[in-house]
Amino acid sequence: MYNNDDYRTKFIPDRISSYFKAEWVVLFVISVSGLIYNIGLLAGPWFEGKMTGCLVDILGGKAAFADMAVLAGSYVAVIAVVQISRFIKRLFVRRFSNNVNKRMKLILYNNLVHRSKIQLDEGGEGNVMTKAMQDVDDCAEGMRKFTTEIFDTGVALAAYAGMLLLYDWRLALLSMLFPPVSYMIAEKMKGIVQRTGAAYKEQAGTLSAATLERVSNAMTYRIYGQEQERRDAYEKNLSAYEKSAVRANIWNAAFPPVYRVISMVGVLFILYYGSRNVLGTGWKVWDVATFTTFVSCFTKLSVKSSHAAKLFNAVHKAQVSWKRIKPLLKEEKHDGHIKKSDPGELTVSHLGFTYPDGSTILKDVSFSAQPGQIIGITGSVASGKSTLGRTFLCEYPYEGSIKFSGDEIRDMDNARRTEIFGYLGHDTELFNDAIDNNILLGTEGSAWEYIQAVCMNHEVSEMENGIETVIGNGGSKLSGGQAQRLALSRTMHLDRPVMILDDPFSALDRETEQGIFQYLRNHYDNSIIILISHRLYLFPELDKIVWLEDGKAVTGTHDEMLGRCSGYAGLYYEQGALPREGGAFHE
């Protein structure tokens, strides 16, 4: 996804320093403009002192208003340069933050979509959403504040401190004893800021999960009269979120005024010893202009100092988010160019599968298939038909062996498995886009060919915009049968060596089902088609049947299964078959 050659050093996504190095050009502009701006800030106290002294001289008849005009004009010109530098610095700091935010989210997204089902389930949907959005935003904002404060606080503090030391180093050291106290207090706050911040992030994830659940099942709750109960449960989640947010933010909000008060304590020494300097009895001999400059400079130093202490808390808060997303920012290369694999034999040997909750679904399943064969998977309710289909996707670990062309699929990477397997599950997963885009998904080819293959051409032709008709989220503007056929046409367009079709005809009439089946038979003679279904109307025409019962498999042709598998024969008979001569069945 990223070309590391674009950077002066190798980009490592889970290292903060890499994000700064990747933006070195932007940071260079920030550095130059920041130095001009913050050093230029020294002009403020200097001009304020000079203008105060000039005003005293004017009142004493030692200067004219023209002198004040020159000072005022120079002051405006210098401030204009300073503010232009400030604008440039802030513009590029925001650009830096946006670039980091975008880069983090792209890396996070790329890694999340390639994580296994078990990894995503362990994280929780709400937590994943919070990490993918809010935590990245907080990290980028923390880096922005850090970058800003290097100049707005760090450089400015050094400049102000240098100016104070120049005027009276003894008084400067005495008055600057207190700002470091605010830094130490801010550092001591690290533990509580991170603890409350982590609790807030966890509660935000819980609230996101509750929101998803509430929205997804809104119709069900409404129909069964459970809206009030679910609303009460959601309000509890919301209250817990609000309390954690208050606890997380109260420390950040309460202490900045304390930092400022502590930083300003040194002004008491300035008023006492500075006035003695003016009177000629102190460490230095000052006039009113110098005294004004010194007070103004110290005031600005104290304000900046309190900002630095506040920055510590902001950085601690960002560290919480960084710790949460860092494991998801490991450098992983995913090849976006997937090609179709060559045909090959599929061999399933002693396959077993147990879900993470401990429920065992498959115990000993074995069968094989050759290119051009259509394999039927059936069984009683909850026998593991769909589980068997999803096992080929390697979302969860399995026992036994599944090999394609002699290679174990659990040992393949995701890209290699994608080259082999096509999958159509119960969820059609259609997008709020045009019909042709839902089929092609940005690839080359004719969508109309596959519309015809699923016997949907007449219906699409009658739609207002034909194949360009936008179907709504999840295909909401289509009937159940249309959505099912559209999803099937997308799988057919993908055309992989192994195509797993989980109950693809459940919402179709027999005539349409027969037409689609014949197209599959005639056009995919190099593919293995695994047809999972509880409807056995087409099973006599399949090359092999796999009957699942108690986690085990019985395999054979249709006629063989009728003779030796009472479960299969009974289900086939229940669906309308009539006895044949010799004890078999026919329709």
Where along the chain do its domains lie? Answer: 9-189+255-329, 346-586
Give yes or no for a contact between 497 and 371, defined as CB atoms under 8 angstroms apart. Answer: yes
Which pLDDT does position 333 carry in this prediction?
62
Give yes or no for a contact between 389 and 440, defined as CB atoms under 8 angstroms apart. Answer: no
Helices 24-40 & 156-167, crossing angle to 10 degrees? 30
- Token pair of 524, please? 């995919």
User: Residue-wise pLDDT tens for the chain (587 aa)?
Assistant: 444 444 444 788 888 888 888 888 988 888 888 778 877 777 777 777 778 888 888 888 888 888 888 888 888 888 888 889 888 988 888 888 888 888 888 888 777 776 666 555 555 555 666 666 777 888 888 888 777 776 667 777 777 788 888 888 888 888 888 777 776 776 676 667 777 777 877 787 778 777 777 777 777 777 777 778 888 888 888 888 888 888 777 766 666 677 777 777 788 888 888 888 888 888 888 888 788 888 888 887 777 776 666 666 667 777 777 887 787 777 666 555 667 788 999 999 999 998 877 888 999 999 999 999 999 999 988 889 999 999 998 888 899 999 999 999 999 988 888 899 999 988 888 888 999 999 988 887 889 999 999 999 999 999 988 999 999 888 888 888 899 999 999 999 988 999 999 998 888 888 888 999 999 999 999 999 999 998 898 999 999 999 999 889 999 999 999 998 999 999 998 886 544 444 443 44
Q: Options 3.30.420.10, 3.40.50.300, 1.10.10.10, 3.65.10.10; which CATH number does 346-586 get?
A: 3.40.50.300
Distance CA 307, CA 155 (A): 13
* Alpha-carbon 28 to chain mean position: 29
346-586 and 9-189+255-329 share a CATH fold: no
Q: What is the pTM of this model?
A: 0.62
DSSP-derived letter for residue 507 is T
Give yes or no for a contact between 467 and 435, defined as CB atoms under 8 angstroms apart. Answer: yes
Give yes or no for a contact between 359 and 413, defined as CB atoms under 8 angstroms apart. Answer: no
Q: Which amino acid is at 63?
A: A
Alpha-carbon distances, residue 186 vs 174, 307, 314, 490 (angstroms): 21, 11, 10, 57
Q: Which amino acid is at 250?
A: I
Centre a 10 Å sphere on the Cβ of residue 260 and count the other Cβ atoms it contains. 17
CATH topology of domain 9-189+255-329: ABC transporter transmembrane region fold (1.20.1560)
Over the Cα atoms of the chain, what is R_g? 36
H/E stretch holding 530 reads: strand 528-532
